[in-house]
Structure formats: C-alpha cells, structure tokens
C-alpha cells in the first residue's frame, strides 16, 4: 500500500462518521452536542490532510447513529461536513448537512437576562436568514443574534 492510500484513522464496523469538519472544530462538536455521552468507542482525527479544506477534523462514533435532525444541527459549526452511516465497514448512506429551522437544546443564549440563563439550561433557537446572514432567535427571550455571536458564546 502506498503512503498516499494509507488510512489515517481506523475504520469502524458500524456507526457514524462525521467527515469534513473544519480543523479545530471536532472537539467543540463533541462537547456542545454531547457526543461523548456514549460508552462506545469514539475516534477523533484532528488536523488531517484534506484535498478540499487543506486540513480537516473527523469523528467516528462506533455503534452510534445520528438521525437526520441531529446531524443537521451540526451544520451551524460545520456547514460542509458530511455524516456517513457505516454498516459492515461500508458507507450505506452519506448525508450532506442542511441548516435546520430549529436548533434544539445545545446552545446557550448570549442574552444575560434570558430566563434560560437563570435556569442554567440550553435554549432552542429558530434559524433565520436576513440579508444573506444567518441569525438565531432565542425561543425564550425572542432576541435575534447573528449566529457567530451564539457560537462564540458556546465555545
């Protein structure tokens, strides 16, 4: 096997592979989306070579399958990522992510007066587009925030 074709990260028998994550974002996804709440094996590849992105991160979740809604929520941090379902070491489906209409229970509201902050719980956000920018509206305080403000608030 040539060096060019050598696998950087071991294959999994079945589960989910989140590929094409921007470099240095995989750890944030694991934490924010609570992907480590499994007792199954989790493999993380950081700063792997990529033809499309120069460098990328990768997450492999053995025996864990994300549904379409869960996968699409990842797009707020990794819009170009793909979520691959693996069975018997073969990719059985490949999902390109789409920004969902609602992001549930994974992000905190940056408004310090929001009731979700007082109750120390994550908020739900409605995804809105205004003048080619993505805004997130908190379900509780109903304030709109440019999505980068919410994201940086949750690092």
Can you tell me whether residue 101 is helix, strand or coil? coil
- What's CA 139's distance to the chain center, in Å? 21
DSSP state of 40: S
Alpha-carbon gap, residue 141 to 92, rounded angstroms: 41
118 is in an annotated binding site: no
Quick check: helix, strand or coil at residue 136?
A: strand
Closest CA to 73 of 150, 1, 5: 150
Whether the CB-CB separation of 35 and 46 falls below 8 Å is answered with no
SS3 category, 41 = coil
| Residues belonging to the chain | 155
From the annotation, which residues make up the binding site? Answer: 109, 114, 138, 141
Q: Residue positions in the annotated binding site for Zn(2+)?
A: 109, 114, 138, 141
């Amino acid at each position: 096997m040539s060096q060019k074709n050598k696998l950087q990260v071991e294959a999994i028998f079945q589960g989910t592979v989140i590929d094409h994550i921007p470099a240095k974002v995989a750890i944030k996804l694991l934490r924010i989306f609570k992907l480590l709440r499994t007792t199954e094996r989790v493999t993380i590849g950081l700063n792997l070579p990529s033809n499309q992105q120069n460098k990328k991160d990768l997450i492999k979740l053995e025996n864990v399958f994300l549904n379409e809604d869960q996968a699409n929520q990842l797009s707020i941090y990794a819009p170009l990522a793909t979520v691959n379902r693996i069975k018997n070491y073969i990719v059985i489906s490949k999902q390109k992510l789409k920004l969902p209409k609602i992001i549930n229970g994974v992000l905190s509201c940056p408004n310090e007066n929001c009731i979700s902050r007082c109750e120390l719980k994550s908020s739900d956000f409605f995804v809105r587009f205004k003048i080619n920018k993505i805004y997130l509206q908190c379900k509780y305080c109903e304030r709109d925030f440019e999505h980068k403000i919410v994201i940086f608030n949750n690092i």
